[in-house]
Structure 1
Amino acid sequence: MIRNLRKAVRRAQGRPRGGAGDGTGGTAAKVDLSHPARSPLGSAVVNCAVYRDGVRQEGKRGAEEAIGYVRRRPGRGFVWIGLHEPSEEEFSVVAELFGLHPLAVEDAVHAHQRPKLERYDDTLFTVLKTVRYVEHDRLTATSEVVETGEIMVFTGRDFVVTVRHGGHGSLGPLREDLEAQPDHLAKGPSAVLHAIADHVVDHYLDVAAAVRDDIDEVEEAVFAESRGRGGDPGQIYQLKRELMELKRAVAPLDRPLQQLSEHPLPMVDPDIRRYFRDVADHLTRVSDQVTGYDSLIDSILQANLAQVTVTQNEDMRKITAWAAIIAVPTMVCGVYGMNFDHMPELRWTFGYPLVLCVIATACLLLHRGFRRNGWL
């Protein structure tokens, strides 16, 4: 009941909501990506904003106008452009404007990258895997439990370009939260990179907690005495596969966060480096949880296979016991079915009842012996 209540709460919290920023959906006001006011460079551009001293500057600007505005006014200003699944044509304009490296551009457009951190001259290219827990009423052998996406972040001295792939991981609420903290946002593009990394890792914690509920459910099914034959191996194996999706998102991110928190980089504010250490600590906790879950699922799967083996052995013992019991009347009837003239008690009046009593007694003794030894 508690697990069902948790799932209901997650469903309620996971409903899309309308709002500005990098969001791509909502019940109150659905964002139209093709609207010219929100997409100065095309339908892939979700938001383009200028920040100065941590405060968002008023006015709608295209990317070229925005970066020109920042560079004409030296100081603590930068541009943040958010894109969602851009095509090569759409992204080529942004790439040329900010001088992004072709290799990083190719990775950002085609996605399917593992988490990493690469430096190209004065630009950092960071890849983070986003995850989302897929709600389901009952775990089956084909249930999708973890859905993954990607966020690529280009961080320069005066710009941040975020490229999002997948139907989840909206950065709209994150942008709004950052705009409410101008002192933190004033530290520049690295503050945005930290906020995105922290946002992604926090979602890892939420998804790990939800997956734990599914593991508890499977574990309960395997060891429940009322179920007789335990859980479905297909469910356990599917859950292990989905957990591997989460592991592929979490594990490779450890090294990029270590680089951001331990090595001085000109694009990262020294004060922000301490914040990355906190994110790295959270990631370590998630990584430990996922590793533990993986081992637990292996143990559950082994326990389930052991249960199946024990059940099969019990079935074979029952079959063997009944075969031994049936062998007694079969043997006696076979002997008397040979039709010899001279056989013990063949012409005796009580011969037939005596043979039946002997058969019944032998069968009862065998049955009692097998019951006592746990075979029946």
Structure 2
Amino acid sequence: MKILVTGGAGFIGSAVIRHVLAATDHTVVNVDKLTYAADLRSLEQADATGRYAFEQADICDAAAMQAILQRHQPDAIMHLAAESHVDRSIDGPGDFIRTNILGTYTLLDAALGYWRGLAGTKAEAFRFHHISTDEVFGALGDTGQFVEDTPYDPSSPYSASKASSDHLVRAWQRTYGLPTVVSNCSNNYGPYQFPEKLIPLTILNCRAEKPLPVYGTGSNVRDWLFVEDHAAALALVLTRGGVGQSYNIGGNSERTNLAVVETICALMDRLRPRAGGASHRDLITFVTDRPGHDFRYAIDAGKIRDALGFTPSVDFEAGLERTVAWYLGNEAWWRPLVDRQYGGERLGLAGARKTAVR
């Protein structure tokens, strides 16, 4: 099988490519625009497999998408290319509308034309897998979980743009017959994540003994999914998921944001102690909450467990320790990002004054 992966130089996309190349004999074509959060260094071993190709292109470029599909003739598309940081969507929603909505439309249109040109078993086996987020469902209270048919209620420009792209994918299946499948995941974490997100930012600020920003009171709850588990689940959805179906993918690991930060601090106290025996917890700083900050996300992953046999293999504590150890041992990967692209400044204040986290 030849799989075209959009956004394959990003955090989740690169994990998907590493998984596919290591666990199968499939060929992968990586299509990525190489925006700020993309990094081909996350795929340094891919070329050596002889089953990997890279195309630098924008999914909003219709001619480029059509040409790439014709040139590579994939058997499936895994669509991960997206702007993904909620805080950035608050400050600059236009990029999210362009990439996540218009880009998905452009890719769907190109995929439909390509699929209509296929014949026989190749046409029957073709799949368009759209990878999305649980944030499209909005916020939960203290109880309950998102299921596949939970009504959409997005809160941020990011989640609204992803909800729009989900609807487009389903419409292309129902209207035009394009064989699509959708998955919605909870918060991912693990190696190679761009340092603007909570877990890598906390690790790197601990290492530098900078303040550890926690929004509001830190009581917001997220379900955490180790990125390598997510990659394995996505491969199952692509190859065994039903056309027109959607699958929620979660890690069964609900934690408050404050608990996540405190767990990282405890790991850092053990793996890289501060001078004088001080705790990294002393660096925790509560900051003004994000506008429209959803209170709680939680995934009911019963469908993917029962239908496809997927359950997460990495529990949160073990996955977080692996992640902390990876960042401590891979400064050569993250240091250029911190020095040149993102130094820890606060984003998502909706036009208010921003201060760097120093």
Q: State the TM-score, normalizing by the size of structure 1.
A: 0.30
- Whose radius of gyration is greater, 1 or 2? 1
TM-score w.r.t. the length of structure 2 is 0.31
Higher relative contact order (Cα pairs below 8 Å, separated by 6+ residues): 2
